[in-house]
Chains A and B, each alone.
Chain A
Amino acid sequence: MLRLELTRLVRSNRPLLAVLSLALFLGLMLLGFYTYAKTETGGDVEFRYTFENASYFNGLTFALYAFYFGFLLVLPIFAATEGGAQLAGDSASGAFRLLLARPVGRARLFMTKVAVAFASTIVLCAVLLAFALGLGLLGVGFGDLDLYPGVLQMTDHHQHLDQAVALERFAMVLPAASLALFAPLSFAFLISAWSKSPVNAVGTSVAVYLVLYVIAEIHFFEALRPWLFTSHMAYWRELFREEVNWTTFFRDAAKLSGFSLLFLALALHRFRTREEL
């Protein structure tokens, strides 16, 4: 069954389209990065006194910026698309009636689909990270990673990581970020389990993710933050501190995993008990 689901995933062309979209995203990021670096360090700035300087921008900075924005705004949409399409898509196309005619348990079928979708998400995450690092190091240049308080909201003071340490941290980001993406994927499975139309499932999953993301970002809704999975998604940023606070890191990882498993349990319950006509 695993081979069947993998074959169907590859033939759907969704992974290929996602990779092409990531390549386009990184190309635009590179363009924006150079434009920003030029305007912010060339005297064309609104503020006279700014910390920006040409040496601050290097391949690792680009890779981190690109991965950060791609992780928060692009990968969750692919995860939601994959999760939304898996159950509702097969339901709409009648594939479930065919699959469930075999002596296969619904739980096994469900978990196989989850495993395939999660594997696909991990691959996309790895592709984005590898492309961002490759493009950054080869196209922009090597160097240490310096982070200042700013747009990434990573730190409240200057952090410096030597290049070798920074690359180790990038390697640690892959499993951490993949775990985080499991939450929107599981959420999309939950929506998909309640929907008969893949378009509705994907649309709803993406829309709800974006709403929760925006709510979690705005200080006005601070009291809601702990209860939204989107608040914890970028927990892997902790890895780019000079001294990683592992308690904070594992606390957020545990919360995200809790959200993911809760969504999956609810989705499985719905999938096991719903009628497939």
Chain B
Amino acid sequence: MRARGALLELALFVAAALLFALGFGLPEFTPPAFELGPRAPGDVRVMTWNVGGSGSGDEWGGPLRDEHVAHVAEVLRELDPDLCFLQEVRMGLQAEHLLTALGPGWQMEVSGSTGNRRLVAFAQRGSLRSLDFDDRSRRALTVRYEPNGGAPITAVGLHADAASAQRRNEDIGALATALVDRAGDTILLGDFNFDLDLGKRRDLFTDDEYLDVETYNFIATRFLDATLGTGSTAEPDRRLDYIFVRQPAFEVRTAGPIKNRRFGDMDHDPVLADLTR
């Protein structure tokens, strides 16, 4: 009888070991990494990039450094977006220097300033002009981009408040509502400054997560999150940059963050989407 008990005990240990091996051995699910492919004719490529740095001594990081302007222009030429929003461009002539570095064929619109930085929209292969829209506290820039031979697009680039979930909710919610009310093809993109990673819920160092969920859901019920499931866009392992497109105006052919394009102390990746109409 004792031997039977010992045998049962051994069987339990062996079964536990096998199950642990199975449980820890099965591969973790990881979404396939985003790879930028060739763009299809007729696609519109949109992009957002917070080009600010993380370590200039400023509490919320610093704006784009002048010595990084040439690198940013090089990345823009390489990724070749039709419409691109940059956040954290320094006040003064930095935007103009960027336009010069980009070369002929590019157009530019700039937002008002928040502190010593501003939003800038660049476009090529079409016409670009800013719109008098609800540009919440100068944290947003609204433009109308009309690609050559295509229907116009209304796009709002945003750099949401990094410090307050309440202000993020008000700014993003108002912009999303205004965009929904607007007829035509609309896009909302930029640095939204929230991360909804399931694994990071109840982080000891933030109590904003559940509040930002409300804001994200508000947008996601009205727009398509083009880069969902494509991974982090900013350090440390956070998804802060988004491209939301209105459906059915657009189908997303491919979208995601482009890795290995940061320079110096930059802490965001460019995020890009190829949209079919």
Chain A positions near chain B (C-beta within 8 angstroms): 46-52, 105-107, 111, 148-151, 153, 155-158, 217-220, 222, 226, 245, 247-248, 250-262, 264-265, 268-269, 272
Q: Which residues of A contact B210 (CB under 8 A)?
A: 150-151
Whether A49 and B221, one on each chain, are in contact in the complex, defined by CB atoms closer than 8 angstroms, is: no
Give Cα distance in the complex from A247 to B25, angstroms: 11
Stretch in B96-104, B112-120, B166-174, B183-191 touching the partner: B166-174
Nearest residue, chain B, Cβ from A109: B5
Is there contact, CB below 8 Å, between B5 and A157?
no
Do the beta carbons of B13 and A156 come within 8 Å of each other?
A: no
| Closest Cβ neighbor of A105 among chain B residues | B1
A245 to B26 CA separation, bound complex (whole angstroms): 12
List the interface of chain B (C-beta within 8 A of A). 1-2, 4-6, 8-9, 12-13, 15-20, 22-24, 26-29, 166, 169-170, 172-174, 176-177, 196-205, 210-211, 213-218, 220-221, 225, 228-229
Q: A150 to B209: give the CA distance in the assembly, Å.
A: 9
* Assembled-state Cα–Cα distance A113/B70 (Å): 73
Q: For the complex, give the distance between the alpha carbons of A254 and B229 in Å.
A: 26
30 A-B contact pairs sorted by A residue (CB < 8 Å): A47-B214, A49-B173, A49-B174, A50-B217, A105-B5, A107-B1, A107-B4, A107-B5, A107-B8, A107-B9, A149-B213, A150-B213, A153-B201, A155-B198, A156-B228, A158-B220, A219-B200, A219-B201, A247-B27, A248-B28, A251-B24, A252-B23, A254-B20, A254-B22, A255-B19, A258-B19, A259-B16, A261-B12, A261-B16, A265-B16
Q: Which of chain B's residues have a CB closer than 8 A to the CB of A149?
A: 196, 198, 213, 216-217
Task: Give the residue name and chain of the B residue nearest to A272 (CB).
Answer: B5
Q: Is A261 in contact with B15, judged by CB distance below 8 angstroms? A: yes
Residues of B within 8 A of A261 (CB): 12-13, 15-16, 19
Q: Which residue of B lies closest to A251 (CB)?
A: B26
Write the chain B residue with the least CB distance to A52: B214
Query: Bound state CA distance, A78 and B29, in angstroms?
Result: 33
Chain A nearest CB from B111 CB (Å) reads: 22
The answer to whether A156 and B196 touch across the interface, beta carbons within 8 angstroms, is yes
Which chain A residues lie closer than 8 Å to B229 at the CB level?
156-157
* Inter-chain contact B214/A50, CB cutoff 8 Å: yes
* Chain B neighbourhood of A257, CB < 8 A: 16, 19, 23
Q: Is the CB of A262 within 8 A of B217?
A: no
Residues of B within 8 A of A111 (CB): 8
| Apart from A47-B173, A254-B26, A258-B23, 19 more pairs, CB < 8 Å | A48-B169, A51-B217, A52-B214, A105-B5, A111-B8, A149-B213, A151-B210, A153-B201, A156-B198, A245-B29, A247-B27, A255-B19, A255-B23, A258-B17, A261-B19, A265-B12, A268-B5, A272-B5, A272-B9
What's the count of A-B pairs with C-beta under 8 Å? 144
| C-alpha spacing A58/B201, complex, angstroms | 25
Q: Which 6 A-B pairs have the closest CB atoms?
A: A49-B173, A51-B217, A107-B5, A255-B23, A254-B23, A258-B19
* Contact yes or no, A262 B29, CB < 8 A: no
Question: A41 to nearest B CB, angstroms?
Answer: 13
- Which B residues touch A155, using CB under 8 A? 198
Contact A105 to B20, CB < 8 A, known contacts A219-B201, A254-B26: no
The distance from the CB of B216 to the nearest CB of chain A, in whole angstroms, is 6
* Contact flag A49-B220 (CB < 8 Å), given A106-B5, A262-B16: no
Cβ-defined contact, A153 with B170, below 8 A: no
Q: Is A262 a contact partner of B13 (Cβ separation < 8 A)?
A: yes
In this complex, what residue of A is CB-closest to B176? A49
